[in-house]
Amino acid sequence: MFILTDLVNGITIELTDMVNGLGILRAKGAFRMFAKFLRLDSEKQDRIVNAVMKEFAQKGYERASTNEMVKEAGISKGLLFHYFQNKKQLYLFLVDYCYDMVVAEFYKKIDLTEPDFFKRIREAVHIKMEMLTQYPDIFKFMEEAFLEDAAEIKPELEKKKREMTDINMGKFFEGIDYSKFRADVDLKIVLKIITFTFEKMSEEVLYKAKFAPGHEINYAEIRQEAEQYFDVLIKCFYH
Amino acid sequence: MFILTDLVNGITIELTDMVNGLGILRAKGAFRMFAKFLRLDSEKQDRIVNAVMKEFAQKGYERASTNEMVKEAGISKGLLFHYFQNKKQLYLFLVDYCYDMVVAEFYKKIDLTEPDFFKRIREAVHIKMEMLTQYPDIFKFMEEAFLEDAAEIKPELEKKKREMTDINMGKFFEGIDYSKFRADVDLKIVLKIITFTFEKMSEEVLYKAKFAPGHEINYAEIRQEAEQYFDVLIKCFYH
Amino acid sequence: MFILTDLVNGITIELTDMVNGLGILRAKGAFRMFAKFLRLDSEKQDRIVNAVMKEFAQKGYERASTNEMVKEAGISKGLLFHYFQNKKQLYLFLVDYCYDMVVAEFYKKIDLTEPDFFKRIREAVHIKMEMLTQYPDIFKFMEEAFLEDAAEIKPELEKKKREMTDINMGKFFEGIDYSKFRADVDLKIVLKIITFTFEKMSEEVLYKAKFAPGHEINYAEIRQEAEQYFDVLIKCFYH
Amino acid sequence: MFILTDLVNGITIELTDMVNGLGILRAKGAFRMFAKFLRLDSEKQDRIVNAVMKEFAQKGYERASTNEMVKEAGISKGLLFHYFQNKKQLYLFLVDYCYDMVVAEFYKKIDLTEPDFFKRIREAVHIKMEMLTQYPDIFKFMEEAFLEDAAEIKPELEKKKREMTDINMGKFFEGIDYSKFRADVDLKIVLKIITFTFEKMSEEVLYKAKFAPGHEINYAEIRQEAEQYFDVLIKCFYH
DNA sequence: GATGAATGAGTTTTCATTCAT
DNA sequence: GATGAATGAAAACTCATTCAT
C-alpha cells in the first residue's frame, strides 16, 4: 500500500502480510544469520543499530566507514563482523530491521475498517507525518537505502525491494466502498492516478524539507496542501 | 517541465532558459573553469567525455576510478586533473555537459505551437522514447547521476538539481489553451496531478525495464498505457 | 630408514625406538602437556584430530583457521585452547600424533628377519604404497607438515624433524647380510646412494601424481620402475 | 640439469635455452607487466628486490608483510603495488628474477666442452658452492620459494616450476663421452642414480648447515665428501 | 570442564591528487 | 601542455587468544 512505501521510496507495496505484526523477512527466517546480534540486550542492540544507521545515512553505502561505526557504537572492530559477517550483510540487515519496525508501527495505528477511500488515505497521511517526526533517523536511512545503487549491494537490494513491493492493490483496497467512484472511466487507472499524486506530493515535501533551513517540516501546511488535492480528486473522480 | 526530467529523475524542471541553445550553467559561466578542456578539438573532447561517462555510469561516483578513465581515454593521469581540477568537478562538469546536450536536442524536436495540453504531452512522450533509444549511454549516466548520493558531491549536485528544477509552470504552459479544463477545480492542482501521473508512469516503466530480461523497453506498450491515462485524464479534467 | 621418511619428507630416519610401539615423543613425555586431550574418549579425540588435520592439510599452518576447526569438530573455541594452549602447540602435537600412528603401523607390517637388503627394501616400498592408499589424509597432512616453513613453528618443527631423523644406519641395517656387497668400495657410501635413489624416486612419484589428472597414483607402474632400479643397483653394488 | 636445480629444489631441469644469457621467462615476455619496475635505475631496483627478498625469505609467502618490505626499501606503500599489482605477482616476479640471475651466472662459468661426465659434475659442484657463498640471500629465497606451498600462489608456482623443470637430459648430456660407462645396465637409470646422489648430497649439506652454529658451510669438507661419492660411482658405473 | 563474545593489531589493496620533468 | 611515478591515509576484514560466566 502506498502510504508506507512513499515514506521510503514511492513504490506501492502490499502490506497485508505484515498486519499480523511479523516482518516479512523475520517471518521468512532471514534473521537467523544475525541471531548473535539479536540475542544481545536491547540497549547494546540500539547503540549499534543507531551508530551504523547514522553512518550509512550520512555517507551512503560505499563511503560509510565501518571504523566510524564501531567507534561510535563503542565496540571493537572484530565484533561488528562477528555479528554481521561483512559490510553488505550489515547493510541489508539494517534495511530489514528498519523496515519491519516501520511497518509494524504503521499497522498498529491505521484503521482498516474505514470504507471511504479518501478518509483512509487522509488518516494514512497523518500517521505517516507523525512517524516521520518520531523516527526521523530511520526514515532518513530508509530513504537513502531505497535510492542506493552501489554496485555491490544492488542485486540483493533490488531483490529485497521486489519482495517488499509485490503489488497487490486488490488486497489493500479491501473494504473500500468503490460505488462512490464515477463509472465512466477505468477504476484501476483512477486509483493509480490518486496513488501517484500522493506519492509525488510526499516526495516534494521531503525534497523541500531538505533545503529548508533546519530541515524542519511544516506539517500543518502539508495537511492543507493535501486537502487541496483531496478536493480536486473527490470532485473529479467521485460521481 | 516533466518530459525531460522524467527522462532522468522525475523532477519537474524549467526548460525555458535552455531553448536558446545555451545550457543554464554554461550561460551562467560555470563552464569557465573547464575552459582548457573546452578548447580541445572535439575528437579528443569526445574521447574523454565518453571514457569518463562510461566509468561513472558503470560504477557510480565513489567507485569510479580515474585510472580507468585515463586508460580508456588514452590520456595521462595528470592531464585529467589539469582539465578538471578534481574528481568532484569532473563529475559535476559531466552532469552539465550531458544535460545541455539532452535539453538542446529535446527543444529542437518539440512543437511548442501545439495548444492542446494532452497533445503536447503525447508528443513529448514520443520524443523522449526516441531519444532514450538514440542516446542510451547518456541517459544511463544522467539517471545514475540524479540518484547519486555520494556525500562528497551531494551538496553541489542538489544545488545543481535545484537550479535545473526551478519550477516555473506558468512559462512552460505558455500557449496552452486552458479553456478546455473544467472550471470548478484549482487548475494548478490539476496540472500537478497530470504531471505527477506521467512522471510516475515513466518511473514504473524504467523500474520494470530493470528487471525485464535484457532490460528491453517495449515502447508500443508504453504508448498504449499512456493512452489509457490520457483517456481518464481528459474525461475527468476537461469539461 | 628411508621407507618411512620418504613417505613424508625424504629424510632418512631411525625407527628402531619406535618398534616397541611407543612414539619417540610420547616416550619422552612430550605428550604430558596434552594430557587433558588424551584423557578424552577416543570418539571425541578422533573428531577433533580429524577436524584439525583436515584444516591444516587444506590450508597450511598460517592460513588454517581455528574457527573452522572448532566448527567442524563441534566444540567450542575455548575448549580447543584449553586442550592445546595455542595454535603452534596444536600443530606440533598433531605432527607427533600422526607420525606415531604411521610408524607403529609400519612396524607391525615389515618383516625385519629378511636378511637380503634389496628384498627388505622391496617389501618396504610395497607397505608404503599400501598405507598411502589406506590413510591418504594422514599422509597428506604429514607431507604438508614437513614442507611447512611458517616462521612461527619452524624452529620447533625443525627440532622435531631432527629428533625423528637422527640417523643411525647401523641399527637399521642390523640383520642385513652385507657379504653380498662388493668389497672394493666404501659400504657406507653405497648404502647412502641406494637410500638416496629410492627417496628421490618416491619424490618424483609424488611430484608427478600432483600434476596427473585426478592425482591418482599408478602403483603397478611404480613397482615396475622400482624394479629397474633394483636391477641396476644389484648388478653394480653386489659382487 | 641437476646442478642448478639442486641449488634450489632438487629437480633436474633443462638449461639449454638459458645458455644464451636470456632468462626463459624474460625471453617469453613475462616481464612485460613489470616494465615499470625494470625501468628504474638499478640502485633502486636492488634496494627493492633485496627488501622484498629478505622479507619473503624470512617469513614465507603468507606471513611476509608488504608493510615491512616498503619500510625496509624506503618506498611508499602505493609504489610497491604500482610496480607489482599485488603480493602474488610480486612473489612470482621475484622467483623469476632470481632464477634468471642464478642461471645466467652459472652458465657463464661452466665449461661445457669437458666430455668426462664426472669431471663436468665436479666442476658444477664447485661453481655451485662458489655461488652459494656469493649470493646466500638469493639462494635462501629460492630454496624457500621452491618449498612454498601457500594455497594462493601454488598453482602459478607449480606452473613456473614445470616450465623450468622440463627435463631434457639428452640435451644436457650432449658432448658427454658415454663410452666410459659399463654397457650391461640401463644407462638412463645409471644417470638418474648419479643425479639423485648429488642432489641428495646437496640437500644434506644445506640441511646440516642450517643447524650448524652460525650456519657456516665447510666447503672443503663437502668437496672431500663429494670425492668419496665420485670414487664409488666411477668404480661401479664406469667399466 | 565448557562456552563463545570480545578484542585490536594486523593484513593487503586502492585511489585521488601532486609535482618534477 | 603533458607525463606518470610517487604518496600515504584509508578501506574492509581476519584471527589467535582471553575471560567472565
pLDDT tens, residue by residue, C62-118: 889 999 999 999 999 999 999 999 998 999 899 888 888 887 888 788 888 899 999
pLDDT at A17 over 50: no
Q: Which residue is nearest to nucleotide F7 (CA to C1')?
A: D76
Distance from residue C77's CA to nucleotide F20's C1', rounded to whole Å? 15
Find chains touching chain C: ≥3 CB pairs under 8 Å.
D
**Domain edges within chain A:** 2-237
Chain D meets chain C (3+ C-beta pairs below 8 A): yes
pLDDT band at D18 (very low <50, low <70, confident <90, very high): very low
pLDDT of residue A212: 61
The CA-atom distances, in angstroms, between B7 and each of B144, B146, B166 are: 11, 11, 17
pLDDT of residue B203: 76
Find chains touching chain A: ≥3 CB pairs under 8 Å.
B
Q: What is the C-alpha to C-alpha distance for residues D33 and D90, in angstroms, rounded to an integer?
A: 11
Q: What is the C-alpha to C-alpha distance for residues D233 and D200, in angstroms, rounded to an integer?
A: 14
Chain length of chain A: 239
pLDDT at A214 over 80: no
Distance from residue A62's CA to nucleotide E3's C1', rounded to whole Å? 36
- Cβ distance C236 to D232 less than 8 Å, yes or no, reads no
Give the distance from residue D41's alpha carbon to the nearest chain C alpha carbon, in angstroms.
Answer: 33
Determine the straight-line distance between the first and last CA of chain C, rounded to whole angstroms. Answer: 24
Q: What is the C-alpha to C-alpha distance for residues A228 and B189, in angstroms, rounded to an integer?
A: 7
Q: Please, which residues 88-117 of chain B have a Cβ atom closer than 8 Å to chain A?
A: none
Shortest CA to C1' contact from B39: nucleotide: F1
Q: What is the C-alpha to C-alpha distance for residues D184 and D178, in angstroms, rounded to an integer?
A: 13
The closest alpha carbon to B204, from A204, A200, A125, belongs to: A200
Whole-number average pLDDT of chain B: 77
Q: Helix, strand, coil proportions of chain A in percent (round to 5)?
A: 75, 0, 25
pLDDT tens, residue by residue, B142-164: 877 776 666 666 666 666 665 55
Contacts 24+ apart (CB under 8 A), B180-186: B180/B116, B180/B117, B180/B238, B180/B239, B181/B117, B181/B237, B181/B238, B181/B239, B182/A236, B182/B237, B182/B238, B182/B239, B183/B239, B184/A235, B185/A231, B185/A232, B185/A235, B185/A236, B185/B237, B186/A228, B186/A231, B186/A232
Q: Does C236 touch chain D if contact means CB atoms closer than 8 Å?
A: yes
pLDDT of residue A21: 33
Residue type, A85: Q
The CA-atom distances, in angstroms, between A113 and each of A130, A131, A190, C37, D166 are: 20, 21, 22, 67, 84
pLDDT of residue C106: 81
Please state the three-class secondary structure of A94-149 as a single string. Answer: HHHHHHHHHHHHHHHHCCCCCCCHHHHHHHHHHHHHHHHHHCHHHHHHHHHHHHCC
Q: Does A201 touch chain B if contact means CB atoms closer than 8 Å?
A: yes
From first to last of its 239 residues, chain C has per-residue pLDDT tens of 344 444 444 433 333 333 333 334 444 455 678 889 999 998 999 999 999 998 988 888 888 999 999 999 999 999 999 999 999 899 989 988 888 888 788 878 888 889 999 998 888 888 888 888 788 778 878 877 776 666 566 666 666 655 554 433 444 677 889 999 999 999 999 999 998 998 888 778 766 766 565 667 778 888 888 999 999 999 999 98
D211, D204 contact by CB (below 8 A): no
- Cβ distance D236 to C232 less than 8 Å, yes or no, reads no
The grid cell for B238 is: 476537461
pLDDT of residue B163: 55
pLDDT at D182 over 90: yes
Distance from residue D62's CA to nucleotide E10's C1', rounded to whole Å? 13
pLDDT of residue A102: 83
pLDDT of residue D168: 35
Exposed / middle / buried, residue D126 (Cβ in 10 Å: 0-12, 13-18, 19+):
middle
Q: Which residues of A touch B147 (CB under 8 A)?
A: 147, 149
Residue type, A75: I
Q: What is the C-alpha to C-alpha distance for residues A1 and A168, in angstroms, rounded to an integer?
A: 8
Percentage above 70 pLDDT, chain B = 72
Q: Which CATH superfamily is domain C2-237 in?
A: Tetracycline Repressor, domain 2 (1.10.357.10)
Residue D65 CB-half CA count within 13 A: 5
Shortest CA to C1' contact from D66: nucleotide: E12
Strand partners, A238: A181
B53, B93 contact by CB (below 8 A): no
Exposed / middle / buried, residue A13 (Cβ in 10 Å: 0-12, 13-18, 19+):
buried
Higher pLDDT, C105 or A10: C105
